[in-house]
Amino acid sequence: MGDVGNDLADFRQLINTNMKNNRLDKFKTDNVQMLQSAFKEMYKGLKNASHTDKILLDLRGKGKGNLSPQTLRDCIGQIRKNDLLAPGFICSDVNHGYWLSYDSKEIKTYFDKQLDRMGSQFENVARLHRRLGSGKSTPPKSQSTLF
């Protein structure tokens, strides 16, 4: 294993770079860092998955802030978008809630389900899209980097 001090410094540098690039305010930066630690400590693996309300309750119980459900989702989105827990990833589903997975098969399954979900969402509005003759046939710019 590498030197823990160097690994921590590299980790902090990665977070600082990502936060600066995304122009997150200090509040969100602190919460993203706190949630990264919380997921590593409390929600690692599907067996430790939790829903939003339970995560917020756990965090309050540990004196780690008073986040709103929206802030929690925003911060999880930032962690996912910037791949801050690589090689792990925060997975989620309606049955289990959120969990941090390091299992490549589990992460791939999550990814495939997300792709299926996006396909279903498009199918739900495909006829409407044709009827409206919308000139938009590609995803919005913010989603175009998926592939």
CB-based contacts of 20-26 (< 8 A; 24+ apart in sequence) = 22/78, 22/82, 24/78
Does residue 75 register a pLDDT over 60?
yes
pLDDT in tens, 6-43: 667 777 777 766 655 555 567 678 889 999 999 999 99
The reported pLDDT for the residue numbered 11 is: 72
Assigned token pair, 33: 């860092």
Tell me what the mean pLDDT of segment 61-71 comes to. 88
* CB burial readout 64-93, b (16+ within 10 A) else e: ebebeeebbebbbebbeebebbeebbbbbe
> From residue 62, how far is each of 54, 58, 65 by CA, in Å?
12, 6, 8
Tell me what the mean pLDDT of segment 115-144 comes to. 77
